[in-house]
Amino acid sequence: MLTESVNSLSDEQTALVSLDLPLRANLSARENVALIPLYQKHFDAAESSRQAQALLDQLGFGAISDKRDPDMNPSERFVTKLARALILKRPQLVIERPGAMLYDIPYPAFLRGLAFRIENGPAKWEVFDFDWNRPLYD
């Protein structure tokens, strides 16, 4: 589950959740997620928004859809980033240093809970974290 580097991962096959990939602060959670189908899949705005809302609902965070990044707590911000990655529908999901993003909750349990909510999600999940956090994922 833990690996040293994400450098060898294919961009076409992998969706990434990372502290280094911020949300657009002026957009709501739903709008941040809807950008992906809008610009990459060429869906219209209504359909992109519907897909984004459905994914936030599936993750159990539908109530945050109108929140903007500055108004979100760390867990809500993470779920928005996760939804943005999941909507890409790629076979591999990489979460990079979740503790840096989820410093307000016991994050291994939180990640497991989210994984159970995802239907037809990535076949492979990987968490890239510091070696000293390895026991958290066993």
* 71-128 pLDDT per residue, tens: 999 999 999 999 999 999 999 999 999 999 998 898 888 998 998 888 777 888 888 8
Q: Summarize the confidence of residues 13-32 as an average pLDDT.
A: 95
Q: How many residues are listed for the chain in this entry?
A: 138
Please tell me the predicted confidence (pLDDT) of residue 39. 84
Q: What angle do CA 88, 84, 125 make, to 5 degrees?
A: 70
Q: What is the pLDDT of residues 27-80, one digit of tens each?
A: 999 999 999 988 887 788 999 999 999 999 999 999 999 999 999 999 999 999
Please tell me the predicted confidence (pLDDT) of residue 132. 82
How far apart CA 82 and CA 93 sit, in angstroms, is 9
Structural domain spans, the chain: 14-137
Return the exposure string of 74-105: e unless at least 16 CB atoms fall within 10 Å of the residue's CB, then b: ebbbbbbbbbbbbbbebeebbbbbbeebbeee
Please tell me the predicted confidence (pLDDT) of residue 5. 45
The CB-side HSE value for 70 (13 A sphere, CA atoms) comes to: 3
Please tell me the predicted confidence (pLDDT) of residue 26. 95
CATH superfamily, domain at 14-137: P-loop containing nucleotide triphosphate hydrolases (3.40.50.300)
Please tell me the predicted confidence (pLDDT) of residue 2. 41
Q: Identify whether the C-beta of residue 69 lies closer than 8 Å to the C-beta of residue 25.
A: yes
* Dihedral angle sign, alpha carbons of residues 115, 75, 14, 9: negative
pTM comes to 0.87
Please tell me the predicted confidence (pLDDT) of residue 138. 63
